[in-house]
Structure 1
């Protein structure tokens, strides 16, 4: 095992000054928090694993890959949360289905939680947001949606503004791939005290609303009329949707946010897979207790179902000065 006295100092010394997230113009608080994250994890890592993390963080890489960095940052945020909270039962990159491994696992109160972290790529969304156009998206799958877009595009093309209508790409196939990939990493053995979790890192409140729709909306992956065979991801017991991606991505522009690396400061909601292989009710209930979440608050909020999450964030959080998003 390798221990580090101050990984934050190592990051500052090794990182190229032009690193977009950790370089010269970066927030000292952000870099310092990364140091704390790595120091929390360091007692669980070998030196080769620490070296691998440095590469994934791209401390000295010439051609910076932002999606790779953000995936790594999200993974580290989740792993550090469990390593700090349950140090004795924590295992990094646990091979629960050899040779494949999950990002981490943790034993707590006679239950084991296997956790796989995924982060979508939002570069297309960011590009679209920067364009001078009208933008549209949908929550869930709708058969009539392509025809509607075609008709509306014709209308907008002849409007006085001259701005085109462009559509955000659905990411339900991304979530399908995440679920199937996680399923393949979990063991075939089924025990009521072992819970398999897919942790998906999302963007802003509307984006999280869309990901909720990918699970529970029309043809949603956790509905009886899922657009794909639910047996392909039946080993996934719980999906966590978290705004960790939002908290990391271009964090320098988000002046109201703090504790970018913290799961405790993130906005998290969870969904049980109705097609899971075993009920695991007791162990899943414990997981809901150890991960901060707004499941009950969003569910009970008085707003139309498709927009509950976004409305809750705007009125109940941001409206009261609680900045989980910015």
Structure 2
């Protein structure tokens, strides 16, 4: 096992802007929690594997790049999560039989096999929406429009009308990243084997940012032409091996580690949604029940949540409208009212 002195030396020698070096200098918990992460890796990874991960994937001996670091920090959080559940076998980056690709890890626990892949997308920057001191109104599609030309024309007309009546307003359209979600699913699909049995489950973790990104990426899966719906805009056969997607705010927590409550490395302290692929190859009911013993998800709470501004209304809001707002509503109306702040400290 790598001793703390060796970890400390690697971090001290890293570039000045590296988050772990910043944490060490400021004496925040991000670095001390990281050391516990490294000790956990020693359960099943060799000293050489750990040293290579820290130097090359976490960039402690490389030029620092934020996006590359966040991807590797995400992978590490997910790997450690599965090292902390009861297992009889754990394989790090070992190709699954029938493929020449390797997911982050494969775990055998209580007779079940969990194959795990992790991704951290580059998210659109809100800084890019600033507009010379004007107020910015951002337009987003929830899912895909049935006719792209009509949708573009409607946006242009709306933009013209709104800006004509308010010279201090700039209406912008948000870039839809559903193709990135499709790419993640298809990339994970080729790392997993075709259906073998009901006790093997394939999981894709995606680390996201603020509350709006969790809502947006949920919509990529379940809103109009969503990837997990029967009228998906992509061919479901190209990602049918992925049984579930686990969305979390891990990216935000790593990126803002000084400003969040708790341990930014620990996925159990993050906001998590466990989202089943309705187009998967098999039911795998027992495997789903088993994995959900170890993953704390807010999915059922979100599904059962009633948006407050509809509770006392006689108007019957369309379910399609309510469903694409539920995640944000649940976070604001339930979690924050219970003083559970999983993003910034209050």
Q: 1:11 Cα deviation (Å)?
A: 4.0
User: 1:85-164 alignment to 2 at 5 Å?
Assistant: 85-86=85-86, 88-97=88-97, 98-122=99-123, 124-131=124-131, 132=133, 133-142=136-145, 143=147, 144-164=150-170
Contact 1:206–1:310 (CA<8 Å) still a contact in 2?
Answer: yes
SS in 2 for 1:208: helix
CA distance in 2, matches of 1:43, 1:289: 21
Q: 1:47 Cα deviation (Å)?
A: 3.9
SS in 2 for 1:199: strand
Q: What per-residue deviation string (whole Å, max 9, x for no partner) do you get for residues 232-260 of structure 1?
A: 101111111111111112333x2x42211
SS in 1 for 2:108: strand
Partner of 1:280: 284
SS in 2 for 1:161: coil
SS in 2 for 1:251: coil
Q: 1:171 Cα deviation (Å)?
A: 1.0
Question: Stretches of 4+ moved more than 4 A in 1?
Answer: 24-27, 129-132
1:257 aligns with 2:261: yes
Partner of 1:52: 52
CA distance in 2, matches of 1:164, 1:307: 24
CA distance in 2, matches of 1:147, 1:293: 39
CA distance in 2, matches of 1:273, 1:284: 11
Partner of 1:19: 18
SS in 2 for 1:264: helix
Q: Quick one: structure 1 residues 10 and 92, their matched pair in 2 at CA, closer, same or farther if it must change by over 3 Å?
A: farther
Unaligned segments of structure 2, at least 5 residues? 308-321
CA distance in 1, matches of 2:205, 2:137: 32
Partner of 2:74: 74
Contact 1:115–1:198 (CA<8 Å) still a contact in 2?
Answer: yes
Q: What per-residue deviation string (whole Å, max 9, x for no partner) do you get for residues 85-124 of structure 1?
A: 23543222131144310001211121000010011101x3
CA distance in 2, matches of 1:20, 1:77: 15
CA distance in 2, matches of 1:59, 1:5: 16
Contact 1:203–1:244 (CA<8 Å) still a contact in 2?
Answer: yes
CA distance in 2, matches of 1:58, 1:127: 26
Tell me the TM-score normalized by structure 1.
0.91
Partner of 2:315: none
Q: Quick one: structure 1 residues 272 and 68, their matched pair in 2 at CA, closer, same or farther if it must change by over 3 Å?
A: same
User: 1:194-209 alignment to 2 at 5 Å?
Assistant: 194-209=200-215
Unaligned segments of structure 1, at least 5 residues? none
CA radius of gyration, larger in: 2
SS in 2 for 1:293: coil
User: 1:303-314 alignment to 2 at 5 Å?
Assistant: 303=307, 304-314=322-332
Partner of 1:41: 41
- 173, 176, 179: which is aligned to 2:182? 176
Contact 1:156–1:162 (CA<8 Å) still a contact in 2?
Answer: no
Q: 1:35 Cα deviation (Å)?
A: 1.4
- 166, 176, 198: which is aligned to 2:172? 166
Tell me the TM-score normalized by structure 2.
0.86
Partner of 2:65: 65
CA distance in 2, matches of 1:118, 1:12: 24
